[in-house]
Amino acid sequence: MGSIDAEVLGSEKKSNPGKATILALGKAFPHQLVMQEYLVDGYFKTTKCDDPELKQKLTRLCKTTTVKTRYVVMSEEILKKYPELAIEGGSTVTQRLDICNDAVTEMAVEASRACIKNWGRSISEITHLVYVSSSEARLPGGDLYLAKGLGLSPDTHRVLLYFVGCSGGVAGLRVAKDIAENNPGSRVLLATSETTIIGFKPPSVDRPYDLVGVALFGDGAGAMIIGSDPDPVCEKPLFELHTAIQNFLPDTEKTIDGRLTEQGINFKLARELPQIIEDNVENFCKKLIGKAGLAHKNYNQMFWAVHPGGPAILNRMERRLNLSPEKLSPSRRALMDYGNASSNSIVYVLEYMLEESKKVRNMNEEENEWGLILAFGPGVTFEGIIAINLDV
């Protein structure tokens, strides 16, 4: 358990012709920064709740999540304008969507602009847009409002992925990879944007599971540019996206359950989720590596960019796959600094992974060229991509 031996296909830090690559990353956050140590008092004060048992439970959860800081859209100004959001049982979905629809577009525009700036080419060269969010609902969708906010050409081909949850970032990357490889010369903007306002509620003894979300989830946006055959003059590929697969686990659809109601989205995460992921992750990784046509390789000779769903999931993965502690360091750092930011998180993990890769090179240590990009979401759905680190 934990290794698949031997050699791997060769790569010389140059992308293979026709294979999709990540050409740039970008991120954005709302202005409200929440320090985890102050969250409990602030949350109970805001919602005018004085239940000592719930407060004690949230205090324990805040410590176990390992989160230190998060960004959120929710603010005193919003609650002054919409005090009903902090009151149990009211019909508030219209107000929530009004806030969320504007907020996710604003963050997605900011993250996309940062990404395009890092890319270094003109926005007019973007041919496709993939937009991911589980925090809004409208028609036309957020993809159109993002395209409008960026000033993209009306000829831009758009794909919208709604309510894919925590696997959305890697799902969007898989879709962008397919688009880039089947449309030579295309440049795909992938944008993700999320806010927890859609599910914000006061604490309740009838919904103790809500406290997990309060302690764990954060807001923000992420963006990537994906394209094949990068121009060596003006583009610097970061990762090659070699092979991607998706797999759902039958009869687990209630494990991550979300319902849009008059009170916003109600989420339930089953206690057995970390165990389900632990029980199935190794077979999924073997399937992914096998489909990539790679000879067997020790897991600890690969990099791991894993969605940080929570410390229990990361700990169980580390144990099941026999990973050395530093392998999931980028995921743990993203969790600590931003919380579980749903579909956005994989962007933050990849940024930290590149940062740590540079440190390894500066210390003249051997770095891991091949690796896996993984996420888990409703279904339960596994998303995975075998990638090559091209950043030199």
Eight-state DSSP code of residue 183: S
Helices (H), the chain: 36-46, 52-64, 76-81, 93-119, 142-150, 168-182, 210-216, 273-291, 311-320, 329-338, 345-362
Question: Measured in Å, how far apart are the chain's first and last C-alpha atoms?
Answer: 32
> In angstroms, rounded to a whole number, what is the distance separating the alpha carbons of residues 101 and 108?
11
Phi, psi (rounded to 5 degrees) for 45:
-70, -45
Place of tokens 């202005």: 31
Tokens describing residue 116: 């395009």
211: helix, strand or coil: helix
The β-bridge relationship of strands 370-377 and 381-389 is antiparallel
239: helix, strand or coil: strand
CA atoms within 13 A on the CB side of 110: 14
- Is 166 annotated as catalytic? yes
For residues 167-181, one letter each, b for 16 or more C-beta atoms within 10 angstroms of the residue's C-beta and e for the rest, the string is bbbbbbbbbbbbbbb
Tokens describing residue 328: 């999931």
Q: Are 285 and 326 in contact (CB under 8 A)?
A: no
List the beta bridge partners of residue 190: 130, 224
Among residues 62, 166, 234, 285, the one annotated as catalytic is 166
* CB proximity list for 127: less than 8 A, separation 6 or greater: 155, 156, 157, 183, 185, 186, 187, 188
Give the residue numbers annotated as catalytic, written as ranges. Answer: 166
